[in-house]
């Protein structure tokens, strides 16, 4: 299993939110590029970059995203507000290894099909989940769709992976939703990336035991609950 540090961008800074709540910003670092360099120096081989302003329709950190993906020295998967073809193509042109599509991919499967067929193996579908229900629009809108039903609907698409964020656990470091992640990994035809709630090495090992391909790490790294070098060494693939 591969561990991937998250770099969440808001107002030009690198931040961490608790429980997906934009009013609960627990970490703010003013130089996201330096943060990227730090994670690469620790031994991580991929980055997960999210433009939170774009995701919520409150702005854009495009130039900063481009700096990170072109200068960090490792592949990066990038998401946040990717809701049209031009955004997908722009991110790929700017150097993103993979593009993470959330809201529109969930709400418009036909559009997602087109994007994945134009860039096979380059699109990661982000299914943000509260409980078992998929949420969209920067975690603000809850749908009636169960994440397992979403997988069944889209299983023929040539996606690079499925990113499942347990929003109800995000930023709390109280453990992941293992039952959810195991069920998703069992059903998904694509590699599954877990996110939300990791607070210890045991949490990481439990995800690996349940067949997850990768995990995105945020708060636990930013608060030193996890030693980045130890994580990067054990979870390198």
- Pair 194, 214: CB distance under 8 Å: yes
Is 8 considered catalytic here?
yes
CA 201/CA 75 separation, integer angstroms = 24
In 3D space, the residue among 225, 224, 147 whose CA is nearest the CA of residue 185 turns out to be: 147
Residues 134-159 as b or e (16 or more Cβ within 10 Å = b): bbbbbbeebeebebbebbeebeebeb
What are 71's strand-pairing partners? none
**Which is the catalytic residue, given 11, 31, 93, 128?**
128
Taking CA 216 as the corner, what is the angle to CA 137 and CA 75, rounded to the nearest 5 degrees?
A: 100
CA 41/CA 200 separation, integer angstroms = 21
**Which is the catalytic residue, given 8, 51, 177, 203?**
8
- Relative to beta strand 98-101, strand 141-146 is unpaired
Is 128 considered catalytic here?
yes
- Relative to beta strand 2-10, strand 214-217 is parallel
Provide the 10 A C-beta neighbour count for residue 104. 17
CA 104/CA 148 separation, integer angstroms = 18
Tokens representing 149 are: 């039903």
Annotated catalytic sites, by residue? 8, 128
């Amino acid at each position: 299993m591969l561990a991937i540090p998250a770099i969440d961008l808001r107002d030009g800074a690198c931040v961490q939110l608790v429980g997906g709540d934009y009013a609960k910003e627990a970490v703010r670092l003013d130089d996201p590029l330096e943060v990227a360099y730090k994670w690469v120096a620790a031994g991580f081989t991929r980055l997960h970059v999210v433009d939170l302003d774009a995701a919520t329709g409150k702005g854009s950190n495009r130039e900063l995203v481009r700096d990170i993906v072109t200068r960090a020295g490792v592949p990066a998967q990038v998401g946040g507000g990717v809701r049209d073809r031009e955004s997908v193509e722009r991110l790929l042109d700017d150097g993103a290894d993979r593009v993470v599509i959330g809201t529109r991919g969930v709400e418009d499967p036909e559009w997602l099909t087109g994007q994945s067929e134009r860039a096979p193996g380059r699109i990661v579908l982000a299914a943000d989940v509260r409980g078992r229900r998929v949420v969209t629009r920067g975690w603000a809108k809850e749908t009636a769709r169960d994440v397992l039903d979403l997988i069944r609907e889209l299983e023929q698409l040539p996606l690079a992976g499925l990113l499942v964020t347990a929003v109800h656990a995000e930023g709390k470091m109280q453990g992941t939703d293992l039952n959810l992640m195991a069920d998703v990994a069992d059903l998904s035809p694509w590699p599954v990336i877990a996110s939300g709630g990791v607070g210890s090495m045991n949490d990481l090992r439990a995800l690996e035991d349940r067949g997850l391909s990768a995990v995105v790490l945020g708060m636990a790294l930013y608060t030193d609950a996890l030693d980045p070098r130890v994580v990067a060494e054990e979870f390198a693939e």
